[in-house]
Amino acid sequence: SMRKKKLIAGNWKMNGSLAANDALLRAVLAGAGLPGCDVAVAVPAPYLAQAQALLAGSPVALAAQDVSQHAAGAFTGEVGAAMLQDFGVRYCLVGHSERRQYHGETDAAVAAKAQRALAAGITPVVCVGETLAERDAGQTAAVVRRQLAAVVHVVGHCVSEIVVAYEPVWAIGTGQTATPAQAQEVHAVLRAQLQAASAQPAGVRIVYGGSMNAANAAELLAQPDIDGGLIGGASLKAPDFLRIIAAAA
Ligand code: PEP
């Protein structure tokens, strides 16, 4: 595959506090130096201002975990893309499996969120992935193709500006990482789909997520179509996150 910088993005989920975030971000910044890859941390919305201040002028980019599919208005509890833009957010997860599972986000809603992020100059990290039942039924390729197709349909030629995260649901938070071969096989499916949809398909980063850690990151990142990682649990411990960043350099 074409040489491009890998992306290592931490997803803190609903974890943290002012004190814990301060310690974690300071430790990441102290250890990251000038990383050989792009690095981002997706923090809970209430901590965007804190993280923005701590990360200012650093090589670690600020990310959000979700964005509203609406621009503004009577949508109590939601956070709009323009609000994220106000805090210097560079990346935003959309369609994380926890949003799809627990908040009923449809493929169409995820696509609308990706479009809102792009319109605000924020790179959407579009999460796709099959459940264990879908994998066992031989539906993995069909499921991830359907999820990505919904986004491609809405964002059109801007698909070259997204990041795709392949996150098998059975691997998230379970300690059961996809093997490098299993992950590569799905990344190749997604790459082929991008080939048909994008003028710059090789430039779209497809990152892997699902129990990636300091011990398994290097072999996953060595696969030809794995362009980085989305890291949940291991992004909450600075030494682990830093080892994954080092593996991606
Ligand atoms: C995630 O939530 O995106 C994720 C990959 O979590 P974990 O690394 O904990 O499996």
Q: At which residue do the structure tokens 């050989």 appear?
A: 36
User: What mean pLDDT is predicted for residues 4-18?
Assistant: 97
CA of residue 167 to ligand 1 center, whole Å: 8
pLDDT tens digits, 82-102: 999 999 999 999 999 999 999
- How would you classify residue 88: left for phi > 0, otherwise alpha for psi between -120 and 50, otherwise beta? left
pLDDT tens digits, 16-64: 999 999 999 999 999 999 999 999 999 999 999 999 999 999 999 999 9
Q: Is 213 in the pocket of ligand 1 (CB under 6 A)?
A: no
pLDDT tens digits, 207-236: 999 999 999 999 999 999 999 999 999 999
pLDDT tens digits, 159-174: 999 999 999 999 999 9
Q: How many angstroms separate the CA atoms of 215 and 104, rounded?
A: 33
Choose one of 11, 15, 236 to mutate for the ligand 1 pocket test, by most ligand atoms within 8 angstroms of C-beta. 11
pLDDT tens digits, 100-125: 999 999 999 999 999 999 999 999 99
In terms of Cα–Cα distance, which of 80, 91, 82, 83 is closest to 55? 91
**What's phi and psi for 41, nearest 5 deg?**
-130, 125
Would you kindly state where each structural domain of the chain is located, as residue ranges?
A: 7-25+38-247
In terms of Cα–Cα distance, which of 230, 239, 236 is closest to 40? 230
Q: Does domain 7-25+38-247 have CATH number 3.20.20.70?
A: yes
pLDDT at 2 over 80: no
pLDDT at 66 over 80: yes
Please name the residues in contact with 23: beta carbons below 8 A apart, sequence gap of 6 or more. Answer: none
Q: How many angstroms separate the CA atoms of 67 and 84, rounded?
A: 8
User: What mean pLDDT is predicted for residues 130-156?
Assistant: 97
Under a CB-based contact definition with an 8 Å cutoff, are residues 234 and 224 in contact? Answer: no
CA of residue 62 to ligand 1 center, whole Å: 17
Q: Is 231 in the pocket of ligand 1 (CB under 6 A)?
A: yes
pLDDT tens digits, 192-214: 999 999 888 888 999 999 999 99
Residue numbers annotated as active site: 96, 167
Residue 200: predicted pLDDT? 81
pLDDT at 135 over 50: yes
Choose one of 66, 163, 208, 212 to mutate for the ligand 1 pocket test, by most ligand atoms within 8 angstroms of C-beta. 212
Atom of ligand 1 nearest to the CA of 167: 5
Q: Is 240 in the pocket of ligand 1 (CB under 6 A)?
A: no
Q: Is 193 in the pocket of ligand 1 (CB under 6 A)?
A: no
Q: Is 230 in the pocket of ligand 1 (CB under 6 A)?
A: yes
ipTM: 0.97
Atom of ligand 1 nearest to the CA of 93: 3
Q: β-strands 123-128, 60-64: how paired?
A: unpaired
User: What mean pLDDT is predicted for residues 127-138?
Assistant: 98
Q: β-strands 91-94, 123-128: how paired?
A: parallel
Residue 1: predicted pLDDT? 45
CA of residue 98 to ligand 1 center, whole Å: 10
CA of residue 74 to ligand 1 center, whole Å: 31
**What's phi and psi for 64, nearest 5 deg?**
-110, 165
